[in-house]
Structure 1
């Protein structure tokens, strides 16, 4: 077995996309067994230093601006374009910094430090994480967005759990109550978007339109968490009810997913099912399917309702089925939409954010099933093949200078951990964006690594 694992490591170094099925199958049977999964980038100094470098270099943009995506063309190619703190992605980069802090505190053997004093690592990383998290607290009072889970939970949940910061827990609870104001009992759901506009649609009237998107499943974690922290059954019931509505109206019979649906709240009539970011209304947008994997897995972990376990397994099996059916190279690195066509021999764009979010959800589902599942093996294949095509060769390392931890080199060729994300490639979108780095692809990659550590697989 040792010889097999060493061989797998060698093959991975040489660029082979598939990690050892023997090693992964062993881990599947023995959830606590540490194995070499053949993904050295998960815990490399490069990975740590790249996130640390962005956190240092963009401090002056706080409290208003946060990293969102890295374009591959234009004057700012290779460097983060920033969005306002109110944008739905603002919580992911602080969450990435807290993922590093969690590794430093809980899993120090997987936090490469180049002989830097561990206390210095903890203290400086804690300070850095706090600076990135602090502006998020003011977002908790917003009632104009369903994305408070994405904004609040990645950083502030870890701040509460790692550091016992009562302010962060209070903010989580406040945000949950803000999100709950968007629940409409006539529809049995939380309103996702107040409006939607592209080149062929313009939905603005909230009296006759109620938009729900599959992404919303991942924001239910905020309600469940705050509900259980404060014994508030109303928050728990709202999240559960919303999840049932998404399952009914957005998940198809074969467990593929629509991106959006629109309901008339006055009559509860279903007016439209379709997509804003995928290929066609009838197609399956890959990141939407990943949101469903992660969201229904989280919902089952809170409710233990077998309906949600069946949903989590169904959407996961569909995702894996489509990967297995792909005929192109690296089939486990998903296209941005499973039904997007190849045109003149050119593959459609892929999407690292779908890959890392789906892999994280599959890993959590594998844990729920106590190792009796195919989902760990699939998750590792997804991450491995995504790295093979999308992890840039841009080495970085940590060092000490004048009492401060710094990153060498101080500037990057490519700010994000990954390339080849697709934000929106729909033909009718007001703005199309593909082949970028994207902040949430990196966040879920770090989450995937931390989940492996938590489960004892590495």
Structure 2
């Protein structure tokens, strides 16, 4: 990637961000805490019936949906509890966070998924950050070792999925950028640079192959592990192969912002700026800043929104604002999104089994989780609230 050309292109971007009303973080956290108390009760009730189900994922067709620890979303619920503890310093949330984090511990040895960043680092990373419990540190390190087994040197990436071998051979999804933080952290914890090198190589290869000239991202890149060449560029959860799936753009923004924090490589900052430009300058997004599930769905404006993409984006923008020359614009955009989420997209207290946000879209092509509450939307919403304070 030509860094000079990228930065020059960014300099002509125009950001049409209306100054947003500041979110009342204290009020938002108080509401989130009340909802999560309801959620915990529903989790405990569900586990009495099916003890193998460890985390709440969503509400679909009016039904409360729990998942086992190997589900890619299993870590978000205990991670939310850590954020509630961080904000309130209330031992009640500490005890709950410890309790439900323990349920995901076995996944540190899971070599069959790329999602260990979500599953392990979100709860155990926050747990270690807030308590310095060495047992959490050990889990993080083992999870990084497990994740590293999915790295292919020739392709230069971590494999995402082992399923659907008839569709692709070595698929890598843009979501996988989110798992690199686990590797960066493990190098800091151990002094072993091999984890850092894998993360950087994956990030560099993804810049090379995942993005279009306008900085929108493909969802799935399929690699040939003999040559390292790209076999195909497709989608699994977006509207079409050439469309911009909203949550995928949010993952890219967050991922490269995090990569810049961990490496100070300006190529990553330029990439994050470029993705931010695509998201914020897209005239398809409604004025409240909450995107449709895919920027290219022809049914817009009748298409479903994705509050999860919005919460991920807001959290990422708050961090990116600290590094970029566009910082004021990013913070204003994040404020706008967060205010919309906190005032128009939150569940009424006691509704939706205790999930905080409404109106997310999980996997629309599969007709799954459309216009529902979902746990990762809540996790990144709480993170955005915390980051907005700083």
When the two structures are superposed, what TM-score results if normalisation uses the length of structure 1? 0.77
Aligned to 2:176: 216
Q: How does 1:8-407 map to 2 (within 5 A)?
A: 21=19, 37-39=22-24, 43-59=28-44, 61=47, 64-71=53-60, 73-74=61-62, 76=63, 80-105=64-89, 121-122=90-91, 124-196=92-164, 202-203=166-167, 209-322=169-282, 325-326=283-284, 328=286, 330-342=287-299, 347-369=302-324, 372-392=327-347, 394-395=348-349
Distance 2:387 2:340 in 1: 19
Distance 1:331 1:349 in 2: 14
> CA 1:41–1:418 in structure 2 vs 1: closer, same or farther (change >3 Å)?
farther
Cα displacement string for residues 343-381 of structure 1 (whole angstroms, at most 9, x for unaligned residues) = 6xx510000100000111111101223884411111111
Question: Greater CA deviation, 360-369 or 278-287?
Answer: 360-369
Shift of residue 19, structure 1, vs aligned partner: 11
Shift of residue 41, structure 1, vs aligned partner: 7.3
Distance 2:356 2:281 in 1: 27
Distance 1:155 1:221 in 2: 13
> CA 1:164–1:44 in structure 2 vs 1: closer, same or farther (change >3 Å)?
closer
Instruction: List gaps (5 residues or longer) in structure 1.
Output: 1-17, 25-35, 106-120, 396-410
Shift of residue 102, structure 1, vs aligned partner: 0.6
- Aligned residue for 1:133, secondary structure, equals helix
Cα displacement string for residues 235-266 of structure 1 (whole angstroms, at most 9, x for unaligned residues) = 00000000011111111121000001101111
> CA 1:19–1:274 in structure 2 vs 1: closer, same or farther (change >3 Å)?
closer
Determine if contact 1:210/1:262 at 8 Å carries over to the other structure.
yes
Q: Is 2:378 the counterpart of 1:442?
A: yes
Shift of residue 383, structure 1, vs aligned partner: 2.0
> CA 1:270–1:415 in structure 2 vs 1: closer, same or farther (change >3 Å)?
same
Shift of residue 214, structure 1, vs aligned partner: 0.1
Question: What number of residue pairs does the alignment pair up?
Answer: 371
Determine if contact 1:195/1:211 at 8 Å carries over to the other structure.
no
When the two structures are superposed, what TM-score results if normalisation uses the length of structure 2? 0.89
Distance 2:107 2:175 in 1: 19
Larger Rg: 1
Cα displacement string for residues 398-429 of structure 1 (whole angstroms, at most 9, x for unaligned residues) = xxxxxxxxxxxxx5454211111100112xx3
- Aligned residue for 2:281, secondary structure, equals helix
Cα displacement string for residues 136-174 of structure 1 (whole angstroms, at most 9, x for unaligned residues) = 111001110000000011111121121121110100000
Shift of residue 185, structure 1, vs aligned partner: 0.3
Aligned to 1:401: none
Determine if contact 2:359/2:372 at 8 Å carries over to the other structure.
yes
Instruction: List gaps (5 residues or longer) in structure 2.
Output: 1-15
Cα RMSD for the two superposed structures = 2.2
Aligned to 1:400: none
Shift of residue 42, structure 1, vs aligned partner: 5.9
Cα displacement string for residues 260-306 of structure 1 (whole angstroms, at most 9, x for unaligned residues) = 11011112231110110111100100000000000000011101111
> CA 1:44–1:168 in structure 2 vs 1: closer, same or farther (change >3 Å)?
closer
Determine if contact 1:19/1:380 at 8 Å carries over to the other structure.
no
